[in-house]
Structure 1
Amino acid sequence: MEPKTIQSSSDSDLAVSSDELVPSSKSFPDETVGGSSLPKRQKVEEEEDDKESSDVSVAELMEAGKELTPKAATPFDPDEDEGYQRLLKKVTDSEGFDLDEDPPMEYIFAGFRLVRVHLHNPYHAGHARIVRSCIDFAIKKQSERLTYVDTVSANVMVEVGHIYFITFRARDSSSQVKTYQAEVSSGLWDEMDVKIFREKKP
């Protein structure tokens, strides 16, 4: 067979046999290993990679996990929390009637049991109905004739039943509208008891 001449960039003639242009099937021997037909060299490289990845120790993995694990939050201490103490003083000084914000959940979990009744919120509709019943009951217990006008605010504390701290407006016998406060307990069987009834202090 006559040799073919290939022109290179240096214009020199190289005599290459046409047989040398086609790679021999023996240059990259195939072996079927583990059910797959891959060149032996490639299979060995993959096995070495797997071995390197399995060399990571359990201790190293645990150490890496510590960096990803969030640190535990500092436990809530109501005695040290200024917001808790401020809200507690406000409620204590007003005997439960002044609560103009919803206490955060951590306050509730720490024992702050008084919460607001959102009178116009559908989810508080049951409490709103009880509040109105408590007002009517408290008014009937008074010697002075009063006519209900509207409810200003209401807070509730869960005891054996509920205790409502209600601020409302009513018209007295002289047709003057005044603001009153009533603490009314509502038991498990709907029995009620008026603990406080007074005109709100200015």
Structure 2
Amino acid sequence: MSPVFAHGQLRLYVLTLLDDGPRHGYEVIQDLESRFNGLYSPSAGTVYPRLAKLEEEGLVERSDEGRKATYRITDAGRAEVRARQGDVHNLRADLDQSVRQLAEDVRSRVQHQARDLRAELKNAAREARATATPVGGRDSWDDGGAYADVERAVNTFRNDVRRAWRRGGLTTEQTREVVDILSDAATRIRAVIADR
């Protein structure tokens, strides 16, 4: 996956966030995650050093309120944001493109896993039909029944995931969990086939 921010863009984006109002460092992280629809979440080790550097440069000031530090943009920081409005506009366009690319990467990984799972299920159904004898004996076997059941189950799963995706998208954590579930299911199906 390509970097989400080009050189210097995260610095400028953090300044624009603080130009909208003071924030705790954790709120900056949450705002970034929200901007990327949950597909990217910067670590504290990425954000806090940027905030410290902006403070050193006199572009933001930090005030400690209890256990949390609040960061506010200074007049010098506002002046930089105003002077770089063209860069801010380009940054927003770049971030829109990054969000689209991240979403496409996730969609592609999930589709690949679903394709692999579907192929495994097809093979399992084909092998099961070839070797299994139903309770009522060979004559009661519906030649396409087992395959159709597996096919329906895969299609139902795929449609459920797509509906969930379209309804509200998936966070990074949910996406990882779906991919892990698909990998686990494929592994379990291979184990079932191997145990026959």
* TM-score in terms of structure 1 length: 0.22
Between structures 1 and 2, the one with greater helix share = 2
Between structures 1 and 2, the one with greater strand share = 1
Q: Rg bigger for which structure?
A: 1
Higher-RCO chain (CA-CA 8 Å, sequence separation at least 6): 2
* TM-score in terms of structure 2 length: 0.22
